Structures are given as structure tokens and as C-alpha cells.
Structure 1
Amino acid sequence: MKTETINIEGMSCDHCKQAVESALTNLDGVSTATVNLSEGHVDVDYDDNKVTFSHMKDAIEDQGYDVK
């Protein structure tokens, strides 16, 4: 299991938080995703044998947010 902190632009509310966390936890291999709105990032615990940073980046961007 690995942990990655991903910086995200464009999140400003609880809906943003829920959208990003849901998009990430729906990926096979992601066990937890915790958004910190004030810091503008998400901490993700994942199995790097099942999911890549690119998959996580795509899932975030599909929700309308930019990965820094």
C-alpha cells in the first residue's frame, strides 16, 4: 500500500470534496481518499499494483478539477 498526496486546483466546497473522494475511491485499488480543502490536496492510500497516478489524475480531472 502506498500513500500519495495530490495537489488539486479548483476545489472550494463540500461538493468538491465529495466529488473527488468518490471518484478516487471508486477506482479499483484505492482504499481511501481524504480531501483537505484548505490545503488544496487529497491524500490517497492505494495499491500501486492496481492503480497508477495517471488513473487517479484522470479521475480527478474528469470531475472538472486540475491536478497541479
Structure 2
Amino acid sequence: MDGAVVGYATCSAEVSTWDGSEYLHMDCLFLRHGHRGLGQVQWQTPAWNEGAIRFYGRIGATSKDKRRFFLPVT
């Protein structure tokens, strides 16, 4: 490596309420051509984001079922 920037990601540290383990929640990821496909990454997108879902499927990503619940508290 020559120190050149090949990509960026914005993340925040989170703790899973499912199993208590720490993980990074990635909000944005960009990699230059030629630096993709060299590892593994996991992400999520809202169910209404059909364009992104089609794109992720075309690049070979698979999804897992997940439901998100909200309860208004007044």
C-alpha cells in the first residue's frame, strides 16, 4: 500500500440487544474499483428501499429476515 485512500465508511459503535455483543453500525460505504470483494461486510436497508434491495441482489448479497418494532411512549 502506498497510503492512498481507497474508500471510506461512516460507522457508530452499537451493542446488540439480541445477544449483548458489540458491533459497528455502518451508515455509508464506498470503495474504489479494484478494492471491492476482498472481505465480508454486513448491512441493512429499509424494506421500502426497493432499488437498493435489487442492487444488493444483483451483486450477490443475500438477506436475512428481520423485523423492527416501534412503540410510541407518551
The interval holding the TM-score normalised by the smaller chain is under 0.3
Computing the radius of gyration over CA atoms, which structure comes out larger, 1 or 2?
Answer: 2
TM-score by length of 2: 0.24
Higher helix share: 1
TM-score (norm 1): 0.26
Q: Which has the higher strand share?
A: 1
Higher relative contact order (CA 8 A, sep 6+): 1
